[in-house]
Amino acid sequence: MGGAVNLLAQRHPINSALSLIAVMAALAGEYLLLGAEFVAAVQVIVYAGAVMVLFVFVIMLLNAGEEEETKGSRVALLLGVPGVLIGSVLVAWVVLRSSGTETVPIGALPGPPTEIAQLLFHDFLLPFEVTSVLILIAIMGAVVLATKPDAAERKAN
């Protein structure tokens, strides 16, 4: 929670990125508590490892500095904070009202990788293949978008 608030409070993007890494590490701990060891490991490797390295890399590459206060940001602050507060209070009220005292035992569902693999490659085979195609398209799109335009033109000529 502290990390999430810090992400909003920090003005420099690199500090936000570091607090987001803290949030992801804390979430991996939550997954461990819930008995989902494999998800926790993937969370650390994929999110805290790969995705955040990508973010930090781009922040450094673009030399991102402090963000400045603008008119749009003040309007968003004035409208956004009350709206989000009202929404989250409503959701919290509904959750607390509808849920009884049922508890989630710690480590209740040992999600061993064998069972997960069975589910992933048997019952969810089609979505799995579709996501592989999605990843391929995303990689190609990223390469096309990130190449320098003049380099592409030189190649065409």
- Between CA 18 and CA 3 the distance in angstroms is 9
- Between CA 143 and CA 155 the distance in angstroms is 15
Tokens of 55: 């973010």
Question: DSSP readout, 108-126?
Answer: -S---HHHHHHIIIIITHH
Q: How far is the CB of 82 from another protein (least distance, A)?
A: 11
Tokens of 84: 């989000």
- Between CA 106 and CA 104 the distance in angstroms is 6
- Determine the size of the site formed for another protein (CB under 8 A): 82
The footprint of another protein on residues 29-68 (CB under 8 A) is 30-31, 33-36, 38-39, 42-43, 46-47, 50-51, 54-55, 58-59, 61-62, 64, 67-68
Tokens of 91: 């959701």
Q: Which of 79, 125, 129, 152 binds another protein (CB under 8 A)?
A: 79
Residue number, 97 or 155, with CB nearest to another protein: 97
If you search the block for the tokens 């400045």, which residue do you land on? 68
Q: How far is the CB of 23 from another protein (least distance, A)?
A: 7
Q: Which of 29, 125, 129, 142 binds another protein (CB under 8 A)?
A: 142
The reply on whether position 105 binds another protein by CB under 8 A is yes
Q: How far is the CB of 157 from another protein (least distance, A)?
A: 20
